[in-house]
Structure formats: structure tokens, C-alpha cells
Amino acid sequence: MNGEGPKYLMFRSIPNPNGKTEIWSVDSKSGGFPLGQIKWFGRWRQYCFFPASDTIFNTDCMRDISAKIKEVMARRKMGARLKKI
């Protein structure tokens, strides 16, 4: 994400009932309503974006979501490395 953060989106951590992986709510900055979630997708072994139904995203929003996923994945990989030490 650029230095000033996402223009249209807010990312907030939400509790995960199983506690194993992070879940992030992706919300509209202007209305505060949920647009989807970033959460772990086990079959692909990576975090993915799960959009809410009837949502539309422009290239700026998709770039910001992608950047957040990359950030969360990097943190996960760093945590896995630290566990091996």
C-alpha cells in the first residue's frame, strides 16, 4: 500500500473462532459497511479475499486488497521461520 494507506478501504482484524489464522474484514471507508474478508484458504495454502455478494471493486481497491494479502502472508511466513529457530 502506498504511504498514506488505502483510499477507499479499511482493514480490521476480527476474531477467528478456531484461532489458528487471522481474519480481516474489508470495509468501505465512506460507509463503514463490510465488503468482504481476507482469510486463510487451506486448499491453496494462502490468504485469499472472499468478497461479499453484489460488491464491485476498481483497480485501486483490488491493488489495496492484494497489498494487504501480501502483508499478511509475509507476517505468516516470518512467524513460521521464527518457530523453526
Residue 30, domain member (yes or no): yes
Domain that includes residue 54, residue range: 9-84
**Predicted local confidence at residue 3, as pLDDT:** 62
| Backbone phi and psi for residue 21, each to the nearest 5 degrees, phi listed first | -130, 160
Nearest to 6 by CA among 24, 23, 22, 29: 29
The whole model's pTM is what? 0.86
Residue 45 lies in a domain: yes
Q: Is residue 1 part of a domain?
A: no
| Total tally of structural domains belonging to the chain | 1
Question: What pLDDT does residue 18 have?
Answer: 87
Kindly report, residue by residue over 11-68, the tens digit of the pLDDT: 999 999 988 899 999 999 999 899 999 999 999 999 999 999 999 999 999 999 999 9
Dist. CA 38–CA 13, nearest whole Å: 9
Query: Is 62 contained in some domain?
Result: yes
The answer to whether residue 3 sits within a structural domain is no
